[in-house]
Amino acid sequence: MHALANPARFLRLMAAIRPYAAVLAVLGLAIGLGWGLLFSPPDYQQGETVRIMYLHVPAAWMAMFIYAAMAVASAAALVWRHPVAELAAKASAPIGAAFTLICLVTGSFWGKPMWGTWWVWDARLTSMLILFFLYLGYIALWEAFDDPARAGRAAAILALVGAVNLPIIKFSVDWWNTLHQPASVLTMAGPKIHADILWPLLITALGAQAYYVWMLCLRVRAEILERQARILRFSAAADRRAA
């Protein structure tokens, strides 16, 4: 982990991973979504409406996973002053916010035929909306300070505090009486849905995971180069003043 604190070494690792992640993302999303939206069977209760699941569920999984990754990276940045971990958390936030927005929008489209309304203040829906606001707050904190060090510390603290919301999202359907259906894939007894629906869902989720890695490689590289350019500009300005 400490070896990856060197930006140059980290960039080399990202350059090696990036093409594989890109190929896996394109294949996984194309195969999973194509299979799920066009060829998987309709649900015996929900009919064709169940196809929204192939966008909604992977987006929900990724929204939670990315925020958890941000919290871990933020802890590393605060405790060990890991510079690349801080940039990885910053680079992850817009990607996670986009997945969360997809989850909320597709959930509304799914909720309309199932519940008769676009939105209810259900425990799962409300906690997911809070997660979206946490992402936006994290992004806003980075823009609120001129000093990147202060911005990074404030954003890292928010990421760690906001991580409390993750188990609430996960277990809200078990702790409270909600309209949202309980877990049907990640359960102690195993998946509760048919393999013809489960496989395209898992392939899409794998593609979404690879897409996150792909975008993370690109965004962290951009953040590192931007920080290096900022240091060079400050150095040049200091040299001009000294002259």
pLDDT score at 114: 84
pLDDT score at 45: 76
The answer to the question of residue 55 being in a domain is yes
Nearest to 56 by CA among 108, 126, 132: 108
The answer to the question of residue 100 being in a domain is yes
pLDDT score at 187: 63
Range 5-36 burial, b when 16+ CB lie within 10 A, else e: eebeebbeebeeebeebbebbeebbebbbebb
- Structural domain boundaries enclosing 26: 21-181+193-242
Q: Are 160 and 75 in contact (CB under 8 A)?
A: yes
pLDDT score at 227: 80
Nearest to 64 by CA among 28, 27, 35, 102: 102
- pLDDT tens per residue across span 144-166: 998 888 999 999 999 999 999 99
User: What parts of the chain have a pLDDT lower than 70?
Assistant: 1-5, 179, 183, 186-190, 192, 231, 234-240, 242-243
The answer to the question of residue 49 being in a domain is yes
**Total of domains in the chain:** 1
The answer to the question of residue 38 being in a domain is yes
pLDDT score at 51: 92
The answer to the question of residue 13 being in a domain is no
pLDDT score at 4: 58
